[in-house]
Amino acid sequence: MKITDIKPIPVWVGRRNQMLVKIETDEGIYGWGESGLSSRELAVQGAINHYREFLIGRDPMHIGALWQEMYRGQYFEGGRVITAAMSAIDIALHDLNARRLGVPVYQILGGKHRDYVPCFVTSLVNPGEAIIEDVKRLIRDGWKVIRTGIGHPKENNPVLFEPRASIALTSESLLELRQAVGREPVLGIDYHHRLSVAEAASFCNSMPSGTLDFIEEPIRDESPEAYESLRTMTDIPFAIGEEMASKWQYMPYIERGLTQFARVDICNIGGFTEAMKIAGWCEAHYIDLMPHNPLGPVSTAACIHLGAASPNFAWLEERSPEPGFNFSIDLFPQQPRLEGVWHPVPDDPGLGVEFNEELAQHQTFEFWEAPHLRRLDGSHTNW
């Protein structure tokens, strides 16, 4: 069997673009993959087209060797554009090979550890009385793990973010929320790397110990030393890693105990090949996986198989209960579906996802930018 084509398909789906990849072979067997790096899909498409030039004609069963060649086959190894392209190709190769063998992807990863993959959900309601009612609704719906977002008095400016104002509003709201729902639900918050070390410490220390079960990405990830400093200032477990694009980036966070939940993004980290190595490394340090999953059905399916094949698994980020994140059955005629608060582990060959390539030809690619946030003084800050 030989690879005959690699097709990057950047297409607007739902509220953002998705960067899908189809790998075809001379035996008619194909596989689907997806990359992350939202809002820079055309850069990823360019990298995929470069890889296509030397991957056509190759044996798709040599997944590990092809991964090494893609990573090391240029002088400038790694980087998020490179690994996002590699991720889509690697996921598609796993889908393709599992289809060829007639087994689900988790079988070629070592078999499954669980029949269902547990998930967490995010409340989209702003801090205040309304979020208490929304979280109570989610609990009534059966959700045990609930993530909240951050608050900010925007003063009629949607691109304004002032960290200290957010800290005051959000911490007070979380205190009230914990008191209202009790100890049983797992509560976390995603600060989306918008704080400095001092700001993050102030936020964490403004609430009694036990208010939060995890804080996600409180600061940016370029400096493990910064996280090491923050670790000494709070006992809240950290959920870190969605921005990371290699096992080398993960290394200090795992080895120094700087994260308690690994937010691996399989569509950016390098696909199954790299994600499984990180999963094993985390297992040796008693760290659970908590995959980042903000994309589409191919990403969700890949995360489900990763969760099935990994013994050390906490929860999968689930977006489908959110408005606008139910993906078209016409575009994805076969896609993962929640059963309550779990994803059943599928038995279908491959990932268990199909994409309507013909319909996608009638869709458009749209340039989309994340909000470019500013502080009150006019300076830029993180989104």
Mean pLDDT of the 67-85 span: 95
Q: Is residue 57's pLDDT more than 80?
A: yes
- Cβ atoms 88, 48 nearer than 8 A: yes
| Helix spans in the chain (H) | 41-55, 63-72, 80-101, 105-108, 129-140, 163-181, 197-205, 224-231, 247-255, 271-284, 297-309, 357-360
More confident residue, 127 or 64: 64
The domain spans of the chain are 3-104, 107-348
Q: Which CATH superfamily is domain 3-104 in?
A: Enolase-like, N-terminal domain (3.30.390.10)
What would the two tokens of residue 129 be?
Answer: 């009385």
Has residue 225 got a pLDDT over 80? yes
226-235 contact pairs (CB < 8 A, 24+):
226/197, 227/253, 227/258, 227/259, 228/256, 228/258, 229/197, 230/197, 230/200, 230/201, 231/257, 231/258, 233/197, 233/201, 233/204, 233/205, 234/200, 234/201, 234/204, 234/205, 235/209
Residue 212 in this model has a pLDDT that exceeds 80: yes
Q: Read off the tokens for 168.
A: 């005051």
Pairing outcome for strands 16-25 and 3-13: antiparallel
Residue 2 pLDDT greater than 90, yes or no: yes
The reply to whether CATH 3.20.20.120 applies to domain 107-348 is yes
Q: What is the pLDDT of residue 157?
A: 87
pLDDT by residue (tens digit) across 242-264? 999 999 999 999 999 999 999 99
Residue 322 has pLDDT above 80, yes or no: no
Q: Answer whether residue 365 shows pLDDT above 70.
A: yes
pLDDT category at 126 given cuts 50, 70, 90 is confident
Model confidence at 156, pLDDT cuts 50, 70, 90, reads confident
Q: List Cα–Cα distances, 255 to 148, 160, 224, 249, in angstroms.
A: 28, 37, 11, 11
Out of 78-92, 173-187, 319-333, pick the least confident.
319-333
pLDDT at 73 over 80: yes
Query: What confidence tier does 128 reach under pLDDT thresholds 50, 70, 90?
Result: confident
From CA 294, how far away is CA 253, in angstroms rounded? 22
- Residue 147: φ, ψ to 5°: -105, 140
Summary mean pLDDT of the chain: 95
pLDDT at position 324 is: 59
CA distance 210 to 214: 9
Question: What is the maximum span of the chain, computed from C-alpha positions, in angstroms?
Answer: 61
pLDDT of residue 323: 62
Q: What share of the chain is helix, strand, coil (3-state, %, to 5)?
A: 35, 20, 45
Q: Nearest 5 degrees, angle CA 262-CA 264-CA 266? A: 160
Distance CA 85, CA 186 (A): 34
- CB-based contact 19:35 (threshold 8 Å): yes
Render pLDDT for 278-309 as a digit per residue (tens, 0 to 9): 999 999 999 999 999 999 999 999 999 999 99
How far apart are alpha carbons 77 and 71 in whole angstroms? 6
Q: What is the pLDDT of residue 14?
A: 75
pLDDT classification of 158: cutoffs 50, 70, 90: confident
**pLDDT tens across 159-200, in order?**
999 999 999 999 999 999 999 999 999 999 999 999 999 999
Query: What single DSSP character describes residue 370?
Result: -
Q: What's the CA gap between 59 and 257, in Å, rounded?
A: 39
What distances in angstroms separate CA 11 from CA 21, 50, 51, 249, 256, one per listed residue? 11, 20, 20, 30, 40
